[in-house]
């Protein structure tokens, strides 16, 4: 059994006091009878006159066993806190970088990006936090940053990417030979893979009045993986939360009333923009047009669809979506 498995088992030990009290109650009830004490002395080959000495020895052993149980419980509580599914602290990150003994410049860059990412996540700037943690891992791959990034991807709704990053965290921790970090990474992996956030869970019900291509925007929810699972969007201006991987497309649908026209415009993020693809589809899924967009702050021509009858139009997005702006309007 791996040390990380022992640690996870110890975490489950919570309360020895209840078990000890229950066993003590059973013994007291048993010794109130006549048959149990007689059988007990015959089994031990002792006489009732030797009972005080036997009791002192028994109590000493019981007390030592109780102390051992308390120690196990305390250890379990400490390990439970250390391996709890949460963003790794700055101190954890520093310790891991110190143990790796990597280049000081790279380690400093990784630490700065990690601290920046934590601050951005605290301010609910999810896409910016994801970008900072990606940069930290690019400088120095650490299990601490990978665990935190996996949790952010889960929060953003990309459970597939969250699982990929959490798996990388497990591999990084195992390679370093850190049993505690491995146990935590495995708990993070279990959490993001068994409890993914449902797609579209944070889809907006109404559009704020102050949104714009430059300025405040609504977070773009995680899309579906096909036309059938497309997530409904209302007319608004959205901000992409993460880049997709391996040509993965996210699917959305927009209701277009009869006689009105849907218009979609995309602007890539300000800096370090990755190539993105945007496509507009009609009610039957047929593609009406699309663009492959690259370069910082590049704005597409409008994609449009006029509805002869009230229907849904579909939008599919892929690539460098993080930080990109999407203006969806129906007129």
Helix (H, G, I), strand (E, B) or coil at 139: helix
Euclidean distance between CA atoms 79 and 82, whole angstroms: 5
Euclidean distance between CA atoms 168 and 189, whole angstroms: 9
Which residues are 264's β-sheet partners? 303, 328
Residue 245 to residues 74, 119, 144, 238, 254: CA-CA distances in angstroms? 43, 25, 22, 20, 24
* Lowest mean pLDDT, pick from 57-66, 130-139, 211-220, 247-256: 57-66
Euclidean distance between CA atoms 118 and 237, whole angstroms: 26
Euclidean distance between CA atoms 162 and 111, whole angstroms: 21
Euclidean distance between CA atoms 141 and 145, whole angstroms: 8
Euclidean distance between CA atoms 74 and 14, whole angstroms: 8
Which among 86, 83, 92 is positioned nearest to 12, based on CA atoms?
83
Euclidean distance between CA atoms 127 and 219, whole angstroms: 9
Mean pLDDT of the region 185-208: 74
* Lowest mean pLDDT, pick from 126-130, 158-162, 278-282, 296-300: 158-162
Label residue 138 by pLDDT band (50, 70, 90).
Answer: very high
pLDDT at 33 (0 to 100) = 67
Domain 218-330 fold: Jelly Rolls (2.60.120)
pLDDT above 90 coverage of the chain, percent: 46
Q: Which pTM was predicted? A: 0.63
Mean pLDDT of the region 95-110: 88
- What is the CATH architecture assignment of 90-194? Alpha Horseshoe (1.25)
Which among 268, 270, 278 is positioned nearest to 318, based on CA atoms?
278
Tell me which of 193 and 229 has the higher pLDDT.
229
Mean pLDDT of the region 300-320: 95
Which among 274, 277, 273 is positioned nearest to 296, based on CA atoms?
273
Q: pLDDT, tens digit, for every residue of 21-73?
A: 556 656 666 666 666 666 666 666 655 555 566 666 766 777 777 777 667 66
* Lowest mean pLDDT, pick from 53-67, 100-114, 245-259: 53-67
pLDDT at 100 (0 to 100) = 84
């Amino acid at each position: 059994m791996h040390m990380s498995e022992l640690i996870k088992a110890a975490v489950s030990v919570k309360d020895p006091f209840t078990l000890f009290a229950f066993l003590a109650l059973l013994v007291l009830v048993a010794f109130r009878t006549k048959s149990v004490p007689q059988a007990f002395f015959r089994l031990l080959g002792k006489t009732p006159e030797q009972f005080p000495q036997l009791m002192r020895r028994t109590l000493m052993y019981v007390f030592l066993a109780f102390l051992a149980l308390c120690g196990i419980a305390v250890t379990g509580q400490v390990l439970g806190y250390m391996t709890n599914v949460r963003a790794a602290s700055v101190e954890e990150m520093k310790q891991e970088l110190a143990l790796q003994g990597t280049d000081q410049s790279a380690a400093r860059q990784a630490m700065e990006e990690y601290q920046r990412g934590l601050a951005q996540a605290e301010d609910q700037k999810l896409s910016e936090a994801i970008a900072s943690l990606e940069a930290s891992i690019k400088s120095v791959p650490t299990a601490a940053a990978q665990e935190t990034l996996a949790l952010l991807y889960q929060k953003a709704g990309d459970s597939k990417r969250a699982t990929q990053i959490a798996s990388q965290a497990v591999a990084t921790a195992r390679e370093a030979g850190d049993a505690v970090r491995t146990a935590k990474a495995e708990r993070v992996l279990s959490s993001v893979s068994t409890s993914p956030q449902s797609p579209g869970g944070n889809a907006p019900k109404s559009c704020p009045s102050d949104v714009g291509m430059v300025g405040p925007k609504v977070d773009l929810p995680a899309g579906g993986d096909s036309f059938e699972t497309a997530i409904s969007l209302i007319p608004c201006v959205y901000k992409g939360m993460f880049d997709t991987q391996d040509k993965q497309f996210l699917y959305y649908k927009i209701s277009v009333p009869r006689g009105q026209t849907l218009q979609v415009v995309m602007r890539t993020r300000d800096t370090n923009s990755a190539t993105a693809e945007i496509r507009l589809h009609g009610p039957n899924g047929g593609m009406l047009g699309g663009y492959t967009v690259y370069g910082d702050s590049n704005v597409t021509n409008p994609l449009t669809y006029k509805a002869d009858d009230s229907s849904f139009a579909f939008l599919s997005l892929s690539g460098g979506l993080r930080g990109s702006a999407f203006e969806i309007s129906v007129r």
